[in-house]
């Protein structure tokens, strides 16, 4: 059985594709590609079909991580398709659970930063309207959170 992760932000062009690709990078390093599968989605329809934001890709590339993917919108069917859904911020968390009409899936949805060990941040800040530093910060925060997330999955879910 494979453990399936879905990373969710607003646009699915900055934070969640970064989380997905960083996590895939760590999964490869840990030789767990046959055990854990990652995807990402956005709560909005703004950027459906778009590749990751080029400013986000540049920041990821500085850490040796290439961002690949095409934005799609989160859908209620994702609750059944994935084992764990990671929200980047509180608004994403609320919007994801808004699709859970019968309140069945709350246990599957967690805040990404709850897995961070080096940062006390509660949310991955939206970098879209800011400068380069914001994008670099998102990558650092996600590298730490993905590390903690992988640790959690290896210890508790595989």
Q: Which of 5, 6, 7, 9 is the binder for ligand 4NP (CB under 6 A)?
A: 9
CB count within 10 Å of CB 69 equals 18
DSSP bridge partners of 40:
7
Catalytic residue among 9, 14, 113, 146: 9
Binding segment (CB under 6 A) for ligand 4NP, from list 6-14, 114-122, 141-149, 150-158: 6-14
CB of 13 to ligand 4NP, least distance (A): 4
Identify which of residues 14 and 27 has a Cβ nearer to ligand 4NP in the complex: 14
Of 96, 68, 88, 99, nearest to 128 by C-alpha is: 88
One of 14, 15, 55, 78 is an active-site residue; which one?
15
Selecting among 39, 53, 126, 144, the annotated active-site residue is 126
Q: Is residue 119 involved in binding ligand 4NP (CB under 6 A)?
A: no
Tokens representing 153? Answer: 């999955």
Active-site residue flag, 15: yes
Q: How far apart are CA 71 and CA 147, in angstroms?
A: 24
Footprint (CB under 6 A) of ligand 4NP, residues 128-147? 128
- E strand segments, 43-152: 84-87, 109-111
Give yes or no for residue 98 binding ligand 4NP (CB under 6 A): no
Residues in the chain: 158
Supply angle C-alpha 35, 41, 23, rounded to 5: 35
The Cα 122–Cα 158 span in angstroms is 26
Smallest gap from Cβ 155 to ligand 4NP, in A, equals 28
Considering only residues 5, 6, 7, 14, which one is a binding residue for ligand 4NP as defined by CB under 6 A?
14
C-beta of 84 vs 112, nearer to ligand 4NP: 112
């Amino acid at each position: 059985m494979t453990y399936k992760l879905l990373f969710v932000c607003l646009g699915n062009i900055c934070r969640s594709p970064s989380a997905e690709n960083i996590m895939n990078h760590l999964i490869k390093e840990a030789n767990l590609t046959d055990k854990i599968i990652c995807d990402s989605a956005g709560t909005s329809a703004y950027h459906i079909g778009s590749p990751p934001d080029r400013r986000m890709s540049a920041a990821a590339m500085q850490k040796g991580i290439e961002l690949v993917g095409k934005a799609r919108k989160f859908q209620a069917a994702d609750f059944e398709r994935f084992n764990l859904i990671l929200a980047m911020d509180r608004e994403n968390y609320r919007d994801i659970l808004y699709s859970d009409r019968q309140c069945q899936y709350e246990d599957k949805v967690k805040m990404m930063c709850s897995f961070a060990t080096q940062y006390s941040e509660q949310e991955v800040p939206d970098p879209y309207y800011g400068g380069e530093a914001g994008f670099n910060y998102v990558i650092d925060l996600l590298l730490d959170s993905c590390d903690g997330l992988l640790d959690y999955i290896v210890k508790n879910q595989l």
